[in-house]
Amino acid sequence: MKQWINKFSIKIIPWLVPLLLLISWQFLSSIGVIPKRILPAPMEVIQAAQTLMSTGELYEHITVSLGRALFGFFIGGLIGFLLGIFNGISRYSELLFDTSVQMLRNIPHLALIPLVILWFGIDETSKVFLVALGVLFPVYINTYHGIKSVDKGLIEMGKAYGLKGRALFFTVIFPGAMSSILIGIRFSLGVMWLTLIVAETISSHSGIGYMAMNAREFMQMDVIVLSVVLYALLGKLSDVIAKYFEGKLLKWDI
């Protein structure tokens, strides 16, 4: 019984402060301390969401943004992952590619936005490209270092026990690099959303960022705040999913 209460409170307590803030925000708005033109009340934001949902607009913007994010993440993550694996296990591949990747890594990818718009226009390709570019490096670095820092003693053990090639990789090297790879993935999920927000806000015909920029023209404060909330929710959601997989894949370590 006591244990059950304990578990329950662990789940509940972290939410008390946000809830309190939300309630006071609503309260201060309704008595007019926070003017509507500066910040709409939480209820208004919810109403805006309902209106946009009924027209189907909200759903469309979210799907578009989510699609860009996942597609870019998939491409960039895959390239970063494969490069990290190859450079981690093959000295030749490392010699050939690592320095170049490390050099490119130092270019802030958001600085490329003007160039990317000139290359791809403002349609899907530019957003996907930017997200992929942003995601690639954290995944690469962490995969590469993960593989490089696998315990040499374990590798020697594997070899002494007759493991080589693929068996050695999947029994010893890859599981040994797993926690580092997952750190890279979790970090790059943050980069993914950040890149998308910037790219969509600067130039877009659709998506959450466009919705916010469009609302600005009509002074729809509630919709702008709604976009911010949406980004936050999506960011949190992806973090929760990543954490879940971390727990599954690293259960030997907890």
Question: Which residue, 18 or 153, is less far from other proteins as judged by CB?
Answer: 153
Structure tokens at 158: 């594997």
Helices (H), 149-206: 152-160, 165-168, 174-202
Give the nearer residue to other proteins in terms of CB position, either 108 or 162.
Answer: 162
Residue 88 CB, shortest distance to other proteins, in Å, is 18
Q: Which amino acid is at 18?
A: P
**What's the closest the beta carbon of residue 23 comes to other proteins, in angstroms?**
44
Nearer to other proteins, 174 or 210 (CB): 174
Strand, helix or coil at 80? helix
Between the CA of residue 70 and those of 14, 142, 188, 215, what are the distances in Å?
29, 20, 12, 25
Residue closer to other proteins by CB (options 115, 167) is 167
Is the Cβ–Cβ distance between 146 and 177 less than 8 Å? Answer: yes
CA atoms within 13 A of residue 241's CA, in its CB half-sphere:
9
The least CB distance from residue 245 to other proteins, in Å, is 15
Could you tell me the smallest distance in angstroms from the CB atom of residue 175 to other proteins?
A: 4
Per CB under 8 A, residues contacting other proteins are 151, 153-154, 156-163, 167, 171-172, 175-176, 178, 252-253
